[in-house]
Amino acid sequence: MTPSPSSGRDPARWRLIGQGRRQSRPRTVRLQLDVHERVVTQALEEIKANPTIEVGGKFLGYVEGAFSAGNGWVAGLANLRVTVVAYMDAGPGKRRSAVYHYSDTDYQFRLFQEIIRDYPDLLFLGIWHSHHPNGLDVLSDGDTDTGSTTVNNPGHEQDFLLSSLAVDMGGLREGRHFVFLRGHQGFLEIDPSSVRIVGGPNPVADRLAEIAQRLGGLHAERPEDPVDQQSAGTAWMTTSEGKAVLAEDRVWLTELGGMRSFLRSGSLVWRGGVEVAGIPAECEYTYPAGFPNKPPVVDVRSRDGGHAVRFTLPAVSRRREGFEHALEAFAALVRTAHAEQPANDGPADQSISDG
């Protein structure tokens, strides 16, 4: 994508409402993380079996060493050895698509309660999931919220929480491994040199597979998830071109802060709060079901419904420029309405399209 010129833009005309988080490279820390090859193999099998939807699970294993997220946490992490021996699959009630992954938590709770009867020292260590359908190599805002909420839950036993990301068909072996700390904002990345794939007998994984099969989880002999009705509209996300588009757009969308992605009626949508010319508004950036043959659409609407702009991008290659043009058009609409209309006039609505 050719970067659009920034001259003429007035950043003060709008700002994204919310936490304004930027996706930057997290700080790297040392923590000896050993992942059993059984975990890596099982995760890769799930990824290959589900090329168009995210997959994942919850890590189980052991911790050697004591750790507190208070003073001296850097040295404390470096002295830990965390061993992941198995993971709980997402379960029969999971919900997954190309951009989200929700586990069956009731199933996972039952699974964990049964496995710790045989292995009472076994710990819940964290989460892994994949971004292989969309190629995003960072944790999303939703992933960050989940990690922060979990590690700060009083019921979580450790002062840390692992969060591993499989970006592509390389799986966890070639993925990125992050860690959340209790009481700390954001997350850290574990130095790749501190991560090892280890072998050997794995009775925990064997027993977990037996329980999972009985409870109807991953190891039960049954058909995989039916094809999501929305998958046809998001098939482009699995192509090399689609992954490049998502990676490029995510950079500038997350620079704005507060934008989050979700699926709606077969289309991928980014949504965030915007303040334009002093008016709180909602902004949506939609890849239609026919993308990339059909260009994205930007909708900006004041929260009271008084002002609205819809802009169909003139070309797929001018996505950021089109997004900013829609914000400028909305700002102009609001300024004109304030200058020309009495304060008690009815709502003004305008739709524009270059498509």
Q: Classify 91 as helix, strand or coil.
A: coil
- Mean predicted confidence (pLDDT) in 173-178: 95
End-to-end CA distance of the chain: 19
Report domain extents, the chain.
Answer: 11-20+231-340, 28-215
- Lowest-confidence region among 254-258, 289-293, 320-324: 254-258
pTM here?
0.60
Q: For position 266, what pLDDT does the model report?
A: 67
Split at pLDDT 50, 70, 90, the class of 346 is very low
Residue 226 predicted with pLDDT over 60: no
What whole-number percentage of the chain has pLDDT above 90? 37
Residue 158 neighbours by CB distance under 10 Å: 18
Residues 38, 93: Cα–Cα separation, whole Å = 24
Q: Does the pLDDT value for residue 39 go beyond 90?
A: yes
Q: What is the pLDDT of residue 273?
A: 77
- Residue pointed to by tokens 């009985």: 214
Least confident of 50-59, 163-172, 274-283: 274-283
Q: DSSP 3-state assignment of 108? A: helix
- Rounded-to-5 percentages of helix, strand, coil across the chain: 35, 25, 40
Scan for tokens 């966890």, then name that residue.
Answer: 172
pLDDT in tens, 100-111: 777 788 888 999
Query: Over 90: is that where the pLDDT of 184 sits?
Result: yes
| CA distance linking residue 311 with residue 347, whole number of Å | 19
Q: Classify domain 28-215 by CATH number.
A: 3.40.140.10
CA dihedral 327, 246, 263, 175 (to 10 degrees): -140
Of 9, 10, 17, 12, give the one whose Cα is nearest residue 280.
17
Q: Which residue has the higher pLDDT, 81 or 92?
A: 81
Provide the 8-state DSSP code for 8. Answer: T
In this predicted structure, what is the pLDDT of residue 340?
Answer: 63
With a cut of 50, say whether residue 12 has pLDDT above it: no
The DSSP-derived string for 274-318 is EEETTEEEEEEEEE-TTTTTS--EEEEEETTSS-EEEEE-S-GGG
Predicted pLDDT at 272: 78
**Two tokens at 197?**
């794939």
pLDDT band at 113 (very low <50, low <70, confident <90, very high): very high
